[in-house]
Amino acid sequence: MFWGQHEFSSEGSWRLAPCETGVGKELVARGAACRRAARPLISLNCAALPETLVESELFGHVRGAFSGAVADRRGKFELADGGTLFLDEVAELPLAVQAKLLRVLQGGQLQRLGSDREHRVDVRMIVATNRDLATGVRFRRFRADFYHRLSVYPLVVPPLRERGQDVLLLAGNFLAQNHSRLGLGLGLGRLRLDTSARAALLAHDWPGNVRELEHLVSRSALKALAGQSPRPRIVSLRARHFDFSLAPESETAAVPMVARDAPNASAAAPVDLRTLTAAHQRQCIQASLECHGHNWAAAARELGLHRANLVRLARRLGLAGQGTAG
């Protein structure tokens, strides 16, 4: 991934460096935008836009500029005026749009689609992509002049496995987020990591970087809460709550045996995978339902499922008779 930053105001600057997917691009963008904290941070994933809409999204349009343009509309640059614009997957922009973007970066002026009027903007722009831009330039998929504007100073965002104790700091932050999300109305004191959990997090290779850690903590918090009634004041996440098998492309690092909960490991009887999977799903569904006051729609959103699919899964797991509320 390449990372770039440009501010075309009085102290213009650029940043560009390679980094991996999932290192927390938008989090870094928010940190870089802290000097303009009172102003907007606008984000746009260039890969998610049809080519015909890219210019309109970036620069805006006027009424009648194209079929369906029934009113004037500001683009992302104007919405971010005075603040920061974060463009992810910038390598996906068409060459013609790259040329127009370069013009805006050089002069701080833009034209809405279908208009001759110039609009001046003061925007700090941060860009990222998971493509090799130099290769794109060689094969004429990326403009050389645009590339060189993105290549002045490096901003290195290392992968999580190279950041040592940072993994514990980030995990603590994600635990706090989950406490706010899961602890409302439950009398829950706090979530914490025990010694085995900390050792497991430090030992893992993190192929999915910060994104993988965030999702792991969310799943593990639900798992740790499952079946605990009444809720304890402190819920400890242990190594056995972590499911590293869901890491991207199964590129997982083995958790050392010292990091596992020895009493639970020794007491566990052999169980087939289907039974374990069903038990884990049952616990997650029950925990999510309790957290949301048995509101099935809210629980489905939490678990990333459609409500009807969640109800069917719950009935198949023996949670019949539920699913009619919420």
DSSP-based three-state secondary structure for 4? strand
CA angle 65, 146, 27 (to 5 degrees): 85
CA–CA distance, 16 with 1 (Å, rounded to integer): 10
Domains and CATH numbers, the chain: 2-157 (3.40.50.300), 160-268 (1.10.8.60), 270-326 (1.10.10)
Q: How many CB atoms lie under 10 A from the CB of residue 233? A: 9
- Both structure tokens of 269: 């009887």
pLDDT value, residue 6 = 55
Return the ∠ at Cα 150 (arms to 148 and 155), rounded to 5°: 130
Would you state the pLDDT for residue 16?
40
Which pLDDT belongs to residue 97? Answer: 92
The pLDDT, as a whole number, for residue 224 is 82
DSSP bridge partners of 5: 15, 126
Alpha helices (H) along 108-157: 133-138, 144-149
pLDDT on residue 93: 92
Q: What is the pLDDT of residue 262?
A: 39
Whole-model pTM?
0.60
Q: Determine the Cα–Cα distance for residues 38 and 113; give it in Å rounded to an integer.
A: 29
- Quote the radius of gyration of the chain (alpha carbons, Å): 24
For residue 85, how many other CB atoms are within 10 A of its CB? Answer: 26
Sequence letter at residue 203: A
User: pLDDT value at position 14?
Assistant: 43
CA distance 65 to 54: 14
Residuewise pLDDT in 10s, the chain (326 residues): 455 555 544 344 344 445 677 777 666 666 666 555 567 889 899 988 888 889 999 999 999 888 888 899 999 999 999 888 888 888 899 999 999 988 888 888 899 999 989 999 988 888 888 778 888 899 999 999 988 887 765 566 788 888 888 899 999 888 888 877 765 445 556 788 888 888 889 988 898 898 899 999 988 888 887 766 666 677 888 888 888 866 555 333 333 333 334 344 444 444 456 776 777 778 778 777 777 778 888 777 777 778 888 888 888 888 755 544 45
Amino acid 57: pLDDT: 93
